[in-house]
Amino acid sequence: MKANESNWQNALKENPFPDRQFDETIKRAVRSRIGKRRGEGPKFKSVAFVCAAAILILFGLFYVPNMIGRTVDPDRLESRNAYYKGDELLLQVFPDPELKAGREYGYLFHFAKLVQKEIVGKELAIEAIHLGSNERVTALAPFIVGEPSSAELNMERYVVRCALPIGGLWLYEVKLDGSNYASVVLEVGEPDWTPSPTFTSGSYEMRGIEGKIGFIDPGFVARKPNKYMWHAWGAPSELEGSFEVKAVKQGTQQMISVIEGLRFGGAINDADASLPSSMALPEPGVWRLLPFVGGRLMESIVVEVMPQEAQSVTTEQLKKVTPEMTFAELLEIIGESTDIGSGRTIRVYRHTGGAEIVLNYVNASETVYPDIYDTIQNIIRNE
């Protein structure tokens, strides 16, 4: 399926709510239904929410056609909040006006042609794909649409809540029985990089989002593994599935894997579920931890990673090193610093004059490598 003709496509690149029409009254109405705090999920039977949603849809449908001919910011040419098949509108999406990466926000999906009774028994799912990195996140886990009952599932005003890991343009794909039905592209703002607060649960202090996800935090030192006990809150169905943690460093969009293939266990410390783990982050700086359950991002936790203190070594120690020595013999002279390698042994030392020495080897019975010996001799000569 292709998107609308180019004139509609260009018109839909801007927010369909000019500031003078999308005033604070409407914003408050929307936020009250798709608020970001836990416990503020949608209740479709609420008259206030139905009215607010209807106003949103009417505003979108009325003002989108009148946007044709406006000047569009070239940096946002790919952003669109509606999907057309030919000239027929299939989908519009209205995200929280404050939408940013790193935490959960609400979206109002308006399915213009999708009627629940016509899709009973079909599987509905929504996946989000970051257009810069191709990272994929489950926005709405697949589920089988049931028989209509009161207003439990209203396809004209369907609310979805999800968190996305990084800012930028995201493609939201709506799938029916595994096939693409419609899609939109939305701009997700950059997140706040202030370290996450701590809170107390049971008798322990934890870092994270109180009432949702957190861990007992002994602190982070670059390249140094440590034990961290994760705690989570939520319904059993929300905590089922594979648990993994990814991380992204401030100033980058590259996500690395920190934990994978684990599952939550029993309730402890006033949490609904828990999980012991070992984590290490490769560089000092500010990092965002991204805990996923079943492919769905729960929230994010910002931590500060301190640089590792290298073990000190003196010139007198280095003068005892010979080119025929093995690494085991060398370690008897300068001592064993923390091994920060994975597969290979990596030990870091700091000479009292400031120079850094890195021992990178596979087997301690190997003879000291010529480049490492040359580094040691250069440090001695420059002393």
For residue 118, the model assigns a pLDDT of 79
Closest CA to 125 of 63, 179, 199: 179
Rounded distance between C-alpha atoms, residue 95 and residue 106, angstroms: 6
Residue 258 has which token pair? Answer: 């920190």
Residue 364 has which token pair? Answer: 């301690």
For residue 149, the model assigns a pLDDT of 54
For residue 38, the model assigns a pLDDT of 39
For residue 2, the model assigns a pLDDT of 41
The secondary element (H helix, E strand) that includes residue 332 is: helix 327-334
For residue 342, the model assigns a pLDDT of 61
Is 353:312 a contact under the CB 8 Å cutoff?
A: no
Residue 34 has which token pair? Answer: 């798709």
Rounded distance between C-alpha atoms, residue 130 and residue 118, angstroms: 31
244-248: long-range pairs with CB below 8 Å, 24+: 244/291, 244/292, 245/277, 245/279, 245/289, 245/290, 245/291, 245/292, 246/165, 246/289, 246/290, 246/292, 247/281, 247/287, 247/288, 247/289, 247/290, 248/165, 248/166, 248/287, 248/288, 248/290
Residue 95, number of CB atoms within 10 A of its CB: 22
Amino acid at 325: M
Residue 307 has which token pair? Answer: 């640089």
Instruction: Domains for the chain: give ranges and CATH numbers.
Output: 6-188 (2.60.40.1930), 198-306 (2.60.40.3830), 311-381 (no CATH)
Query: By three-state DSSP, how is residue 51 classified?
Result: helix
As averages over each run of 10 residues, the pLDDT of the chain (383 residues) reads 40 41 44 42 39 44 35 54 94 96 95 83 94 92 75 74 96 95 96 95 95 95 91 94 96 94 95 96 94 95 88 93 95 86 80 90 94 94 86
Is 316:233 a contact under the CB 8 Å cutoff?
A: no
The secondary element (H helix, E strand) that includes residue 227 is: strand 226-232
The dihedral formed by the CA atoms of 360, 361, 366 and 369, expressed in degrees to the nearest 10: -40
Is 271:238 a contact under the CB 8 Å cutoff?
A: no
The dihedral formed by the CA atoms of 213, 218, 219 and 221, expressed in degrees to the nearest 10: -130
For residue 167, the model assigns a pLDDT of 95
Closest CA to 104 of 211, 29, 2, 18: 211
